[in-house]
Amino acid sequence: MLISVVVPCYEEEEILERFHDRVTAEMKLVDHELELVYVDDGSKDRTLRILEDLAAVDSRVRYLSFSRNFGKEAAMLAGLQHAAGDAVVIMDADLQHPPELIRRMAEQHALGYDQVIARRTRKGDRVGRTLAARAYYWLINRMVDVELVDGVGDFRLLSRRTVDAILQLTEYNRFSKGLFAWVGFRTTTFSYENAVREQGRSAWTFGKLLNYGLDGLLSFNDKPLRAALYLGMTLLSVASCYAAWIVGVALARGVDTPGYVTLLTALTALAGVQMVMLGVVGEYVGRIYYEVKRRPHFLVKAANTGLSRRQPPNP
């Protein structure tokens, strides 16, 4: 069996060689063939140079390099497209995903599982981030149809048919956590202890995390639109009751001129709600905008992908 290891790399010059050594050493203990598919996500450091050097000395190394930074989702997609393995393991280059676990994944795969997920514990994370994550997953699992689990990321083994299924999902806005859950198949999960990043630093800023969270909420269904509708209807019925009451009072006791505060409060509250709803609608329109453009997910500036199965034949 051939196992492909797909590795998105963004500015990983400090750790890439060590990563490669660790994975290849680990794979010696496994009774399967190995292929490494590195995807350089437009790094400005020496990442591509290192990949070229690795490919020169190790024939199992394939790499792609993007013309600019397209994001980890695009890098994973490119890796999956070029992986030829019967099973594909996706892992980060920063050694936060212990290579020892590949063996365990392969064992589970041999038992017939299509997706073997390594779920990290949140040990060593800041309390604030852990709590935020917990709240987020509580919320998102009420909003989306697929089940998302805290600590479950992209570190997993996928069987060939799962990879092929994921490659059929060609949407531009890719939220892999959701896509993996959406395709289904036989899935099993095991936990591992979270390792602190050894070198470099995480590219995730608070703003990026927030956007990622919103993507998760919005890219899976239209429930937020439905929620906006319900909110509007609730406000409308409350407002109608209030209006009826005011009219009643006015008829019975004449018009009470002061009412500036009530008026202003109602006006601003309603305007705020309308803006939020407009924003929700706008988010979906924005997504449609990107989808209809049908732009490629990434552009490649250099590659050594061997005899890729997906290369079009020469005319």
* Residue 302, phi then psi, degrees to nearest 5: -150, 145
User: Rounded distance, CA 68 to CA 41, Å?
Assistant: 7
Instruction: Verify binding: residue 190, ligand UDP, rule CB under 6 A.
Output: no
Rounded to whole angstroms, the Cα distance separating 232 from 238 reads 10
Q: Which does 41 bind (CB under 5 to 8 A by kind): ligand UDP, Mg ion, none?
A: ligand UDP
Q: Min. distance of Cβ 38 from ligand UDP in angstroms?
A: 10
Residue 189: how many other CB atoms lie within 10 Å: 15
Candidates 6-14, 27-35, 56-64, 101-109: pick the segment binding ligand UDP (CB under 6 A): 6-14
- In angstroms, how far is the first alpha carbon of the chain from the final one? 32
Q: Choose from Mg ion, ligand UDP, none: what does 120 bind? Cβ within 5-8 Å by kind.
A: none
Q: Which stretch binds ligand UDP (CB under 6 A): 4-12, 26-34, 220-228, 286-294?
A: 4-12
- Residue closer to ligand UDP, measured from CB, 161 or 208: 208
Quick one: 12 or 114, whose CB is closer to ligand UDP? 12
Name the minimum Å distance from CB 96 to Mg ion: 4
Query: Rule CB under 6 A: is residue 120 a binding residue for ligand UDP?
Result: no
Q: Considering the rule CB under 5 A, would residue 69 count as an interface residue with Mg ion?
A: no
Q: Are 7 and 91 in contact (CB under 8 A)?
A: yes
Sites for ligand UDP among residues 72-91 (CB under 6 A): 72, 75
Beta bridge partners of 7: 38
Contact between 60 and 28 under an 8 Å Cβ cutoff? The reply is no
Using alpha carbons, select from 102, 105, 123 the residue that is nearest to residue 113: 105
306: left (phi over 0), alpha (psi -120 to 50) or beta: left
Residues 85-124, mask of contacts with Mg ion (x by CB under 5 A)? -------x-x-x----------------------------
| Minimum distance, C-beta of residue 87 to ligand UDP, in the bound complex (Å) | 20
Please give the structure tokens belonging to residue 77: 């997609």
Tell me the pairing of strands 61-66 and 33-40: parallel
290 binds ligand UDP (CB under 6 A): no
Question: Closest Cα to residue 246, out of 237, 265, 254?
Answer: 254
Kindly determine how many residues on this chain lie close enough to bind ligand UDP according to the rule CB under 6 A.
16
Residue range at the interface with Mg ion (CB under 5 A); choices 10-18, 84-92, 253-261, 294-302: 84-92
Q: Which does 12 bind (CB under 5 to 8 A by kind): ligand UDP, Mg ion, none?
A: ligand UDP
d(CA 260, CA 104): 69
* Closest approach of Mg ion to the CB of residue 172, in Å: 24
Report whether 6 contacts 88 (CB < 8 A): yes
C-alpha 153/C-alpha 160 separation (Å) is: 19
CB nearer ligand UDP, residue 10 or residue 136 = 10
69 binds ligand UDP per the rule CB under 6 A: yes
> Nearest distance from residue 12's CB to ligand UDP, in Å?
5
Does residue 96 bind ligand UDP (CB under 6 A)?
yes
CA 215 – CA 286 distance, rounded (Å):
12
* Tokens at 5, concatenated: 């290891």
Query: Shortest approach of ligand UDP to residue 285 CB, angstroms?
Result: 26
Q: Coil, helix or strand for 93? A: coil
The residues binding ligand UDP (CB under 6 A) are 8-10, 12, 41, 69, 71-72, 75, 92-94, 96, 202-204
The residues binding Mg ion (CB under 5 A) are 92, 94, 96
